[in-house]
Amino acid sequence: MTNILITGGSRGIGYELVKQFAADANNYVVVLSRNIEKLEQLKLECAQHYQSTIQLYQVDFNSPSLNQELQNILEKENKHFHTVINNAGVLINKPFTETTTADWQTVFTTNVFAPATLIKEVISCNNTNEQTHIVNISSMGGFQGSVKFTGLSAYSASKAALANLTEVLAEEYKNTNIKINCLALGSVQTEMLQEAFPDFQAKVSAKQMAKYIYQFAITGATLFNGKIIPVSVTTP
Ligand SMILES: NC(=O)c1ccc[n+]([C@@H]2O[C@H](COP(=O)([O-])OP(=O)(O)OC[C@H]3O[C@@H](n4cnc5c(N)ncnc54)[C@H](OP(=O)(O)O)[C@@H]3O)[C@@H](O)[C@H]2O)c1
């Protein structure tokens, strides 16, 4: 049995990603996000087509008790996670001077502090003799030297922080069975993109991107560690 943990499975790329993993009956997939109704719908959809086991947890990454909630989940699961995908994210599109401290807190808590907490808890619970591949989902907006977009100060800065965290953790755990990489995605047609940029149409669908992330997650750890990989045909 291969154990997978995916955050942000209730919609967009995460929803499609869970379906990719669910197609392999050997996979046990744990999915976290706030919207439990959407997660139940996803589980039902997977059960109609696939044999794999999906376990759902309603978690808000902005909860003050997040650390304890994640510990409880991992204690209950009592498993080694072979693949962890930090996919959940939030985007606020606002001129910089209009961004509030609360905006910055929400964005950094969801996009940086929560993945850091999850990684910490997974590492503490995992079996050191088995392999783990942690994949952090960042954005081209947080990729050094890429074209930047106005209104995305908090979002892009948070994604750059997540990318940097990837490099630092890869160094810290280089002599262990943990491999950690970061995918900096270009635009993907999801609810997040639609809400932030209603007039923009991305060339890549959530399903297409999920297929790529799935392949990278299951194969990438043999060739990459501590890498921030741009996944975009449009953004230089
Ligand atoms: N779409 C793009 O163009 C694009 C480009 C570059 C990078 N990305 C990144 O790719 C990832 C997926 O994006 P997407 O476009 O699929 O976004 P999406 O459709 O908005 O989905 C985001 C997911 O994150 C979860 N989430 C958000 N806030 C959360 C919170 N406080 N606690 C727990 N879960 C939370 C949401 O679940 P709930 O609402 O149920 O909690 C949802 O499942 C994100 O990290 C995003 O930054 C996307």
Edge to edge, what strands does the sheet with 83-86 contain? 53-58, 27-33, 2-7, 83-86, 132-139, 178-185, 228-231
Q: Give how far Cα 158 sits from Cα of 92, 105, 142, 162, Å.
A: 11, 10, 7, 6
Q: Could you give the angle at the alpha carbon of 196 between the alpha carbons of 210 and 134, nearest 5°?
A: 35
Q: Kindly tell me the sign of the dihedral angle through the C-alpha atoms of 86, 62, 193, 21.
A: positive
Averaged over 132-145, what is the pLDDT? 97
> Which atom of ligand 1 is least distant from the CA of 7?
34
Averaged over 73-98, what is the pLDDT? 97
pLDDT digit string, tens, across residues 45-63:
999 999 999 999 999 999 9
Separation CA 119–CA 136 (nearest Å): 10
* Residue 62 Cβ < 6 Å to ligand 1: yes
User: What are the residue boundaries of the structural domains of the chain, listed by start?
Assistant: 2-231
**pTM, whole model, 2 decimals?**
0.98
pLDDT surpassing 90 at residue 234: no
Higher per-residue confidence, 233 vs 99? 99
Tokens representing 2 are 């291969």
pLDDT averaged over the chain? Answer: 97
- Rounded to 5 degrees, φ, ψ at 137 are -95, 110
Q: Are 3 and 30 in contact (CB under 8 A)?
A: yes
- Rounded to 5 degrees, φ, ψ at 174 are -65, -25
pLDDT surpassing 80 at residue 14: yes
In this prediction, residue 236 carries a pLDDT of 59
Averaged over 179-184, what is the pLDDT? 98
* Residue 139 Cβ < 6 Å to ligand 1: yes
Name the percent of the chain lying above pLDDT 90. Answer: 98
Q: What is the DSSP letter of 100?
A: -
* Residue 109 Cβ < 6 Å to ligand 1: no
Q: Give how far Cα 150 sits from Cα of 92, 100, 154, 194, 196, Å.
A: 11, 16, 10, 16, 12
* Residue 146 Cβ < 6 Å to ligand 1: no
Nearest CA to ligand 1 atom 1: 188
CA 129 / ligand 1 centre spacing (Å): 32
Contacts of 5 (CB under 8 A, 6+ apart): 29, 30, 31, 32, 81, 83, 84, 85, 118, 122
Q: Could you give the angle at the alpha carbon of 181 between the alpha carbons of 62 and 105, nearest 5°?
A: 20
pLDDT surpassing 80 at residue 174: yes
pLDDT surpassing 70 at residue 170: yes
* Residue 205 Cβ < 6 Å to ligand 1: no
Contacts of 102 (CB under 8 A, 6+ apart): none
Name the percent of the chain lying above pLDDT 70. Answer: 99
In this prediction, residue 120 carries a pLDDT of 98
- Range 2-231 has CATH code 3.20.20.70: no
